[in-house]
Structure 1
């Protein structure tokens, strides 16, 4: 037999027996998961979970913890197995703070502890960077409370601080209204926005003290602004503060507990008339863009970016797609933004251009009763 023909036959047989390599990679579809806080009217309502799988055209929501009153704020620890929420109610001695165990396999929530917030209508929660302390803002109560978190996520009340004062809008600022509590990235400070007194309070945070919060200083905003929510830049040197009543975004410098103004940006389009209510502010995961929602008659989401000179400017202002965009959040990869509408009872998905930050509304939409907060769970 010809030697070359013999070798060719062996090679042909070898390749014929080898498994064929697939030209397509087997990938698991990406599902983004959010916990959804709501206002409730019925026992069947409560905390919800939203799952969004774009590649399978799925946007689904279900109630995972019913029978809770107005769980308007919800968050989880970094591993996703402990959840903290509240009941935004008025009572004696205030609303309630609840810790829950979350099964990673089944998403089932089981109550671990419940304590009063020591102030009416708790509306905002924050975990310390080490996830061993929890703070709550009591809106109607005009106070904030701090709790120690044990290993099993049980809560121990440590401290309640009552604010005092008022501001120029007698209809909305006749008393303190604590709207948010936010830890600095290094965990040394807790910033508290008080809509009623037009101040941002800077508290020193000492985890080794029986009462961990001590007032350092206050930063006074323009009277009538109504400071609501704020976020830090990744390096902790800038603060993005939403002024609810003025519908403005303040860019502030932050240096060792001291706040100073840098830039003020109106969230209103030229010639706009009507009611306003700036609500939420978020940074994109890549840090390139700031997103701010505005309610009232506006119902918009503004996209703001830093230009080459280091100042912030509008990139886009777009309809939120519903009524009263109280809250919104972005997916971890920054490809999508989900806007929750309290008044139109829906959540709308926007696609985000990761280069420019601009938004495009998609056809994805899901209905749910009074969604008012979206917490992103890690993918």
Structure 2
């Protein structure tokens, strides 16, 4: 298990742990890879390379090679062409890495496109798209564009950039052999002041789900040929909750039957929904405390029997049991101290 962290306190870049997916146990810390704020991790299709965004004022993207024992060794890095990159994803054809530069400083958000060689090496950015305009509904968080997430639809033909600052999801047609490789396709206008954060697609691409960070909400969306259409708008916190909310990460189970989303702020719960496979709509199943503060990310283990939460504000990883049949999150099984954890990637050893 590879864990990205924010470099603070006892944290040391990327941390490598043993993980037993049969027993549900985080084991020995095998390695600490020094690097600055590797807040998001992307594994290559062959699993021998790892790409990490370094969320700094002068953002970079690092490449790390895995040896047969699972240890990481730093290779090249490239500028991310923006500040504070928070997310990245590989094109379906593996030829480009898309990077979301959130832009926490005064510069606008930037979506950048880094070529990837046949051997997996990163090259200097081939293209960047500046997100200058903010909606200014929230004058502090939306003064200009903030690209928080970039994901492709399952077909790989469209790229979706969630802009928290502009209350938009900007859609590009991906054409790797043209110049530039991204062409404007459409955009989805989120509710004013809602702050789109993360987006996931159903396996067949007919539906998508979007967290709205600033309003603490979740949207269920229909999708066809790069166009998103609202189906359902849900508040993550329970009725009557008056504290601060901040919707964050979300993931579908491998079988697509359940959707999990996290509400941060003062709520700090995982919210579990049952997915209607025909209509794409969601039914609330459970709210489960993350047992920590500011959960940055979470992950379902490869077996689907466990769920891990990176509680950034509590400097710990919580490991919970999960029932793959009914989707519910169960007992807390283990707590591991990690300074400001931010992301997880699971890999198998030979």
Same fold (TM over 0.5): yes
Q: CA-atom RMSD, angstroms?
A: 1.8
Match of 1:255 among 224, 231, 242: 224
**Greater relative contact order (CA < 8 Å, ≥ 6 in sequence):** 2
Match of 2:60 in 1: 96
Mapped pair 1:50 → 2:50: no
Distance in 1 separating the partners of 2:35 and 2:99: 18
Mapped pair 1:196 → 2:133: no
Match of 1:325 in 2: 295
1:272 deviates by 0.5
Q: What 5-or-longer segments of structure 1 have no aligned partner?
A: 1-33
Distance in 2 separating the partners of 1:375 and 1:315: 26
Q: What 5-or-longer segments of structure 2 have no aligned partner?
A: none
Distance in 1 separating the partners of 2:159 and 2:21: 37
Match of 2:184 among 202, 208, 215: 215
1:79 deviates by 2.3
1:2-48 Cα offsets, whole Å, 9 max, x none, are xxxxxxxxxxxxxxxxxxxxxxxxxxxxxxxx221110026971101
Contact 1:329 1:376 in 2 (8 A): no
1:184 deviates by 1.0
1:308 deviates by 8.7
Match of 2:338 in 1: 368
Distance in 2 separating the partners of 1:99 and 1:123: 16
Distance in 1 separating the partners of 2:57 and 2:311: 24
What are the equivalent positions in structure 2 for 1:1-379 lying under 5 Å apart?
A: 34-41=1-8, 45-53=12-20, 58-60=25-27, 62=29, 64-91=31-58, 95-103=59-67, 105-140=68-103, 141-156=108-123, 157-167=125-135, 168-307=137-276, 310=279, 311-377=281-347
1:155-205 Cα offsets, whole Å, 9 max, x none, are 122101101211111011011000000011111010000000000000000
1:289 deviates by 0.2
Distance in 1 separating the partners of 2:23 and 2:186: 51
Distance in 2 separating the partners of 1:57 and 1:233: 27
1:277 deviates by 1.1
1:57 deviates by 6.5
1:362 deviates by 2.4
Relative to structure 1, the CA distance from residue 63 to residue 181 in structure 2 (aligned partners, 3 Å threshold; closer, same or farther) is: farther
After TM superposition, the score normalised by the length of structure 1 is 0.86
1:290-322 Cα offsets, whole Å, 9 max, x none, are 000111100100000135984311000010121
How many residue pairs are counted as aligned between the two chains? 342
Contact 2:11 2:338 in 1 (8 A): no
Query: SS state of the match for residue 343, structure 1?
Result: helix
After TM superposition, the score normalised by the length of structure 2 is 0.93
Relative to structure 1, the CA distance from residue 54 to residue 109 in structure 2 (aligned partners, 3 Å threshold; closer, same or farther) is: closer
Indicate the larger mover: 160-169 or 194-203.
160-169
